[in-house]
Chain A
Amino acid sequence: MSEIGKYFKGIFSGLKTLYQGMTVTGYYFRNARKEIITQQYPDNKATLRMYDRFRGIVVLKHDENNLHACTGCSACEIACPNGSIEIIAPRLEDPETGKKKKVINQFVYYYSMCTLCNLCILSCPTDAIIMDQTFEHAVYDRSLLTQILNKPGSKLDPNVKE
């Protein structure tokens, strides 16, 4: 008896759960015009806003006085698992104190190798680099994927504690 009971119970519970699933998708079907979850991408370029968590590309923040917060400590270069960051920062003598100090010359970023894993952002002690929210990075030449992130003439923000 129990086997036969199980057989019919299986049939009815199967039908019931299938009906439950159909109510869910039926709700979606009826309300599809109102609750579209996809973006009409090329049309809504002007209003498109990415999520805060979105990792587009690594950028070095510069303020309006062309100052950045990178001390050239190379923490991001060490943290990077595939060598897509290379910091060229020779030790130069500080004219005021006379101490030798790292000053970044070129913050080289190889976007072609970057997996956007976010480890460099996490490792940065001065929060100098962030993930930008842009995503249209296609270029016509591979060499354009190698970028110098510090802008010409930019300096270290003097307020940044090393």
Chain B
Amino acid sequence: MYLTIYDFSGFFQSINDWLISTFSEPLASIIGYTLIGVSAIAFIAFLGLSLVYAERKVAAWFQLRIGPNRVGFQGVMQTVADITKLIMKEPLTAGSSDKFLYNLAPFIMMLAPFIVISALPFAKGIQVMDLNVGVLFVTAVSSIGVLGILLAGWSSNNKYSLIGAMRSGAQIVSYELSAGLSIMVIIIFSGSLQFGDIIESQANGWWIFKGHIPVWIAFIIFLIAGTAETNRGPFDLAEAESELTAGFHTEYSGIKFAFFFLAEYVNLFIIVTIAATLFLGGWMPLHIGDWEAFNSIADMIPSVIWFIGKVTFLILLLMWFRWTFPRLRIDQILTLEWKYLLPISLINLVFAAFITLMGWHF
């Protein structure tokens, strides 16, 4: 009923029709898949570069510095230069490492974001596939990343790497519980696991407004758990320089290190996209109930702009967390999860179910 002018699905449908009419059926599908894959790779590369630049610049501003300002205008080409340097460096393989697993780990690390990004909705009509269990798929596949971390730490044959990987694994496995439980709150409210349905259910208001208290609690818990899952500060003790050097990627250099580095930022984007989609309506413009005039004005802004705006806001929030909060010890991290977040999110889940049962949400 909304958003007919900025719908991208017609555009992609016409490309698909043209491919099918021009080429034979198998060739058309192959070309179609290749186009999707190439655009996904290009998008992830662009995302990694721009997020690393944004992180450095934002971190600098939080610390009253200027940040990168030499390469290009305001240093925008800094990350391109960094990646070029990393590509040209020698990808060392540590002598006494488990060669096969050591070289496999960075690819597993990058695999998870590549698969997850196929299920995420970016704008109306821009989504590779709208699975009917999309949320479950994303939460399940994104935990492949921890396998890459554990493999990297184990195969490096280095004490620091192993300890860093174990910490990271313990942290990610723990925090996935409360992240999953806070996602469950939205699933209870919207009654669907499909991203398309969840976004459609927010057409008369985002869940963060409609669902009030349980959704606020779930949103805060999801942000905390998401920060921990991406190994960002204040939960970045897998890469504690003073005690573990660089943690699980100590032994990696060149492009293999770049994979770990990029995967961290793509994971940040994925967590933020899930948060924006479930709690802030994804690409859905700000609609308030049945205020037709207001809703149609909000619809004038393209859905992709809404999506980028929400994602940028949440990324900035997580960067703000990273450069403000003090780091936690490993025991404090596990205490926070098992003694605070998990009980609260369990009770919150029951509370949300009760509210849905009584119909007390909007």
A residues sitting closer than 8 Å to B (CB atoms) are 11, 18, 21-22, 24-26, 28-29, 32-33, 35-38, 40
Known: A11-B340, A29-B58. A21 touches B64 (CB 8 A): no
Task: Please tell me if B320 contacts chain A, counting CB pairs below 8 Å.
Answer: yes
CB–CB A35/B340 < 8 A: no
Query: Once bound together, how far apart are the Cα atoms of A94 and B58, in whole Å?
Result: 69
Question: Of A18, A28, A37, A40, which contacts B62 at CB under 8 A?
Answer: A28
What's the Cα separation between A19 and B150 when bound, in Å?
34
Which residue in chain A gives the minimum CB-CB distance to B316? Answer: A29
Given contacts A18-B325, A32-B61, A38-B65, 14 further A-B contacts (CB under 8 A): A22-B320, A22-B321, A22-B324, A25-B62, A25-B324, A26-B320, A28-B63, A29-B58, A32-B60, A32-B64, A35-B64, A36-B65, A36-B66, A37-B65
Q: Which of A11, A18, A28 contacts B64 (CB 8 A)?
A: A28
Complex Cα distance, B123 from A81, in Å, reads: 69
Q: Check A40 against B320 for contact (C-beta < 8 Å).
A: no
Tell me the dominant secondary structure on chain A's binding face. Answer: helix
Bin chain B's interface residue count. 10 to 19
Contacts of B60 in A (CB 8 A): 32
15 A–B contacts, CB within 8 A, in A order? A11-B340, A18-B325, A25-B324, A28-B61, A28-B62, A29-B62, A29-B320, A32-B62, A32-B65, A36-B64, A36-B65, A36-B66, A38-B64, A38-B65, A40-B66
Within 98-155 of B, Cβ neighbours of A (below 8 Å) are at none
Cα separation A22 to B320 with both chains bound (whole Å): 7
Taken together as a complex, chains A and B put the C-alpha atoms of A29 and B321 apart, in Å, by: 12
When A and B form their complex, which 6 residue pairs have the shortest distance between CB atoms, in order from nearest? A32-B61, A25-B324, A37-B64, A21-B324, A38-B65, A25-B62
Q: Spell out B's residues near A (CB within 8 Å).
A: 58, 60-66, 320-321, 323-325, 340
Report B1 CB to chain A, min CB distance, Å. Answer: 39
Nearest Cβ on chain A to B318's Cβ, whole angstroms: 12
A32: which B residues are within 8 A, CB to CB? 60-62, 64-65
- Decide: B320 and A38 in contact? CB cutoff 8 A: no
CB distance from A152 to the nearest CB of B (A): 43
Task: Please name the residue on chain A nearest to B61 by beta carbon.
Answer: A32
Known: A38-B65, A40-B66. A21 touches B325 (CB 8 A): yes
* Residues in chain A near residue B63, CB distance under 8 A: 28
B138 to chain A, nearest CB (A): 28
Complex: how many Å from CA A32 to CA B63? 8
Could you say which of B61, B66, B325, B340 contacts A29, with CB atoms under 8 Å apart? B61
Q: How far is B69's CA from A38's CA once the two chains are assembled, in angstroms?
A: 13
Closest-CB distance, A125 to chain B (whole angstroms): 43
CB-nearest residue of chain A to B234: A18
How far apart are the CA atoms of A35 and B66 in the complex, in Å? 10
- Could you tell me the distance between the alpha carbons of A36 and B67 in the complex, rounded to whole angstroms? 10
Cβ of B64: which chain A residues have Cβ within 8 Å of it? Answer: 28, 32, 35-38
- List the B residue with the shortest CB-CB distance to A33: B61
| B345 vs chain A, min Cβ distance (A) | 13
Chain A hits for B324, CB < 8 A: 18, 21-22, 24-25
